[in-house]
Amino acid sequence: MRPNTSPVALRQARQHLLDSGQCPSGLVDERLARSWSRSMAAGLLPTGRPQAIDHPSSGTLRQVLASNPELLAHSRPVMEYLFEQVRHSQSVVVLADRRGMLMHTLGDPHFVDKAERVALTSGASWHEAHRGTNAIGTALAEACAVEVHGGEHFLERNNFLTCAASPILSATGELLGILDISGDYRNGHAHALGLVSTAARMIENRLLAATCKRNIRLHLHSAPEGIGSVAEGIVAVSADGWIVGANRVALAQLGLHAGDVGATLLERVLDVRMDDLLSHHKRRPQQPQALRTLQGALLFAQVQMDTAWVATPTRPAAAAATVPQQDALALLDTGDTRWRAAADKARRVVGKPIAVLVQGESGVGKEVFARALHASGPRRDAPFVAINCAAIPEHLIESELFGHVAGAFTGARKEGHLGRLREAHGGTLFLDEIGDMPLALQTRLLRVLQERSVTPVGASKAVPVDFALVCATHNQLMQAAEQGRFRQDLYYRINGLTVQLPALRERSDFVALLQRLLAHLATEQGLGFEVQVAPDLLARLATYPWPGNLRQLANVLRTACAMLAEGEDTLGWEHMPDDLVQALTAAPTPTPAQTETTTLPIALNLQQLSQAAIDQALQAARGNMSQAARQLGISRQTLYRKLGGRTTH
C-alpha cells in the first residue's frame, strides 16, 4: 500500500497474521493495518475464500446501473482513455458504485484464472467486508486513493493482483463510486495510482459541469494557461453568489471543505463581487480575471455559463421598476432597541439577493415583520406569498409548493396547479415554520434555490422562478441541523441574514406598543375615541410574561375593546378574560404605586409605576438582579435595560 513497505516486512507481517490471526503493529503501513483489521473483523481468513455473497441478479444489477446514469455516462469515455494508457500492461479498468459493486469493466482479464474471472465482471462486490483488503474496497473505506500490491491483499487468493483505485466525488463532496485499474502484479503499471487519480478527477469535472450547468462556473488556476487543464479548480456558483459545487482542487485553492459547499458565499472566499465578476465576463468573455483569495493568493478565473439560462429574464418588470421607497418597517417601530436593531439589519439587505431568516417565539410578529420587509422593498407591488410549512399535510406540501401538471396524480386538480413558489415569482416567498418541512422536501427546496427554477410534479421541464426568500422559525434551526433533522446546506442557504425578534416580555416598549395596538383597534372597530387602560391593570399587564406574545396581547385587547360599554373609554379588569385575570392576580402583590388609579397619560404613568416596582423588587431581593427580575416577571436583561443608566449594588 505504501511503496516503502519492504517485501521482507510484508512477508513477516503476513506470517504473523497467519500464525496469530492478529494484525501486527509497526511492520506495515497504518492504513494497511487498519484494512487488515477490518477484514478480520468481517470474519474473513487470509487463507480463506471471499465472503459468500450471491452474484446479484441481473435485475439488481440493472437497478444499480439505472440509479447511476450520470456517473456511468461520464465515466465511460474517460475509462476508454484510461484503458488506452494501460492496454499493454494487461490490466482491466473498473468502475464500482459507492458500495463496491462493479458496474462497468474494460479489458480482458486473461491474467486471471478462468474460475476467478467472474469476480471482475459487473455485479461482483469488492467491498472489504466481502473480499478483504483490495484497492476498491479500501479506497471506499478510507475515502482516498490507494494502491494495493500482491501480498498486501488480505486474501491470499488475490495476491497475484496489483490494483490502484480512486474515489469519485460529486460536486458537493459525496462519494459516488470508485475508479480502479487492476492487473497482474508482475506486470503492473508503474504509474497506475497517478493515472487512476487523474482519470477520477476528469470524471468529477465532467459531472460537475453537467450537474451545475444552470450555475455560473468559475475555472480557477494560479496561471492563466492552467485554466482548462485537469489541474484547474472549478467552482459552481448560484446567481445570488452561493457556492453550490466545487471540485477538490477548488476546495484546496479556496481553503474550503466539502461541507462548506452550499453554505458559503463566493465573496467570503474570493475578493470579488458577483456583479463585477459577471460584468468583466460580459466585456471580455475570453480573458481570465486576476482575483485574490481572502488569504491573499493570486488566482486566475474564467467564467463559464449557459447563455440560454442566463438570458432568461429572471426578474419581472414589476419588481425591477423603480418605485418610490416607503419604509413599512418604520411604521411598526415602537422604540424597542432589539426590535429596531433587527429591522435595521433587515432593511440593509432588502432588494438584495440575500435570504432572511426571522427567528423568535410564536406570536412575536415574524410574519408581520416579513410582510413589512416585503412592503419596504422594490418587490412590494408583486405578491407576498406566505406558506406555513407546519400547517400543510405532508402529502400535499410537494404539489402545494412546486405545483403539478394536469392529472399528475390521483386527486390532482384537473387544470393543474401553479404552485405557491411560482405564485411568488417577482415577489417574496415567506416560509413560516421552515423547521417543520420534511427532509425530502428540504432537498427539493434547496434545488429550487440553487437553480432558481421549479419542476412541477409530473412535469419534465423546469420553469425559472425569481423571488426574495424570507423564512421564519420559532425553534433553533442550527441545533436541528446539527442533529440531522434539518439539512445543513439548506440552513446556510436560507440564513443569509438572521434576525431575532424579541419576545414581548423582553421588550422595553410595552406601553408604546400597547398604545399603537389600541389606536389600530379603535380604527378597526370604528370607536371614534382614544382607548385608555386603568393604571393598576396596565402595571400588571406590563409585567405579565405574555407566553403568546403579541398575538395574545392583540387578541386580549381586541376582545376588551369590543366589550367597552356605551360611554366607556377605559379598559379595566372587567374587560379582561377570566383566565388572564387569574394569571395577573397570581403574580406578586402590586406595590402601592401600582394600585393608584390616576388618569395621567399612560406612558408617564407606567414609567413611574414600573420604576417604583423595580425599586421595591430590588430592595426585597437585596440587590440580587436575578431574584428581582423573577419577582417582576421579566428577564434579567429587561431589568438591566429598564434600569438604564442607574447604578445598582
Count of beta carbons in the 10 Å neighbourhood of residue 327: 14
- 3-state SS track over 28-83: CCHHHHHHHHHHHHCCCCCCCCCCCCCCCCHHHHHHHHHCCHHHHHHHHHHHHHHH
* Pair 413, 406: CB distance under 8 Å: yes
319 touching ligand ATP, by CB under 6 A = no
Select from 134-142, 195-203, 360-368, 629-637 the region that touches ligand ATP (CB under 6 A). Answer: 360-368
Q: What angle do CA 474, 480, 486 make, to 5 degrees?
A: 100
Upper half-sphere CA count for residue 476 (Cβ side, 13 Å): 4
Stretch of 30-38, 184-192, 277-285, 546-554 lying at the interface with ligand ATP (CB under 6 A): 546-554
Instruction: Decide if residue 332 touches ligand ATP (CB under 6 A).
Output: yes
Is residue 368 close enough to count as binding ligand ATP by CB under 6 A?
yes
Nearer to ligand ATP, 525 or 624 (CB): 525
Stretch that binds ligand ATP, among 285-293, 314-322, 406-414, 549-557 (CB under 6 A): 549-557
Collapsed DSSP state (helix, strand, coil) of residue 484: coil
Task: Using the minimum distance from each CB to ligand ATP, give the nearer residue, 232 or 336.
Answer: 336
In the stretch 508-527, what mask flags binding to ligand ATP with x, by CB under 6 A?
Answer: ---------x----------
Nearer to ligand ATP, 28 or 358 (CB): 358
State in angstroms the smallest separation of the CB of 448 from ligand ATP: 22
Nearest to 570 by CA among 594, 598, 549, 591: 598
Binding residues for ligand ATP, rule CB under 6 A, total: 16
Residues in the chain, total: 649
Cell (9 digits) for 4: 516503502
CA distances from 513 to 334, 335, 541, 580 (A): 6, 8, 12, 19
Contact 144, 35 (CB under 8 A): no
C-alpha closest to that of 329 among 304, 302, 309, 348: 348
> Is the Cβ–Cβ distance between 632 and 617 less than 8 Å?
yes
Nearest approach in angstroms of CB 391 to ligand ATP is: 9
**Does residue 363 belong to the site contacting ligand ATP (CB under 6 A)?**
yes
In the complex, least distance from residue 330 CB atom to ligand ATP, rounded to whole angstroms: 12
Residue 388 CB, nearest distance to ligand ATP (Å)? 7
Restricting to residues 197-236, name those near ligand ATP by CB under 6 A.
none
305: left (phi over 0), alpha (psi -120 to 50) or beta: beta
At 139 the three-state DSSP class reads helix
Closer to ligand ATP by CB, 65 or 332: give it: 332
CB of 372 to ligand ATP, least distance (A): 8
Q: In sequence order, what E strands does 98-215 have?
A: 102-106, 146-149, 161-169, 175-184
> Quick one: which of 159, 312, 362, 637 contacts ligand ATP (CB under 6 A)?
362
Does the protein bind ligand ATP through residue 328 (CB under 6 A)?
Answer: no
Q: Rule CB under 6 A: choose which of 38, 217, 366, 374 binds ligand ATP.
A: 366
Binder of ligand ATP out of 367, 381, 568, 596 (CB under 6 A):
367
Query: Closest CB to ligand ATP among 263 and 329?
Result: 329
Decide if residue 550 touches ligand ATP (CB under 6 A). Answer: yes
CA nearest to 473, candidates 549, 338, 362: 362
Shortest reach from residue 561's CB to ligand ATP, in Å: 13
Which lies closer to ligand ATP via its Cβ, residue 315 or residue 551?
551
Query: What is each CA distance from 469 to 370, 432, 497, in whole angstroms?
Result: 10, 11, 11
- From 554, 561, 606, 617, residue interacting with ligand ATP (rule: CB under 6 A): 554
C-alpha cell at 349: 439587505
CB 33 within 8 A of CB 40: no
**Binding piece for ligand ATP, criterion CB under 6 A, among 66-74, 223-231, 363-371, 396-404:** 363-371
Candidate ranges 289-297, 318-326, 357-365, 455-463; the one touching ligand ATP (CB under 6 A): 357-365
The residues binding ligand ATP (CB under 6 A) are 332, 360, 362-368, 432, 472, 474, 517, 550-551, 554
